[in-house]
Amino acid sequence: MKIFCSKCSSLAAVVMAYDYTERRVWLDDMDSEFVSVHGYPMCDKHASRLTPPVSWTLTDRRNLVRPLFPEAIQPTRQAV
C-alpha cells in the first residue's frame, strides 16, 4: 500500500508524531517499529524542513542512510 505525504503528493518516507503534554515532536522512518498510527506521513523533503514550535523538542529517529533497494533487504534468521 502506498502512503503519500500529508503536505504534497509525493510518497511518504517518514512519520511525524507528537506529544502535546511533553512538548515533543519526533520523526521515524515509515518502516520503523516506533511508527505511531496517529502520526502524519511526510516525504523526506517536508520532514527535513520541519521545525517544531518554540520550546518544543524535535527528535529525529530516522536512519539517514537509505538502502539502495529496500525491498531486497530480507531479515536473516538463524537456525535453532
Task: Report CA-CA distances (Å) from 45 to 13, 27, 73, 79.
Answer: 10, 13, 24, 41
Dihedral angle at the C-alpha atoms of 29, 16, 6, 30, nearest 10 degrees? 20
Amino acid at 60: D
Which domain range does residue 18 map to? 1-60
Q: What is the pLDDT along the chain (80 residues), one digit of tens a residue?
A: 788 999 998 999 899 999 999 999 999 988 766 566 678 999 999 999 999 999 999 999 887 766 666 555 555 555 44
Q: Which helix (H) or strand (E) holds 41?
A: strand 40-42
- What confidence score (pLDDT) does residue 2 get? 82
Residue 42: inside a domain, yes or no?
yes
Q: How far is CA 34 from the centre of its chain?
A: 9
Residue 70: inside a domain, yes or no?
no
Using DSSP bridges, classify how beta strands 14-19 and 40-42 pair: parallel, antiparallel or unpaired: antiparallel
Structural domains of the chain, count? 1
Residue 14: inside a domain, yes or no?
yes
Residue 40: inside a domain, yes or no?
yes
- What confidence score (pLDDT) does residue 80 get? 46
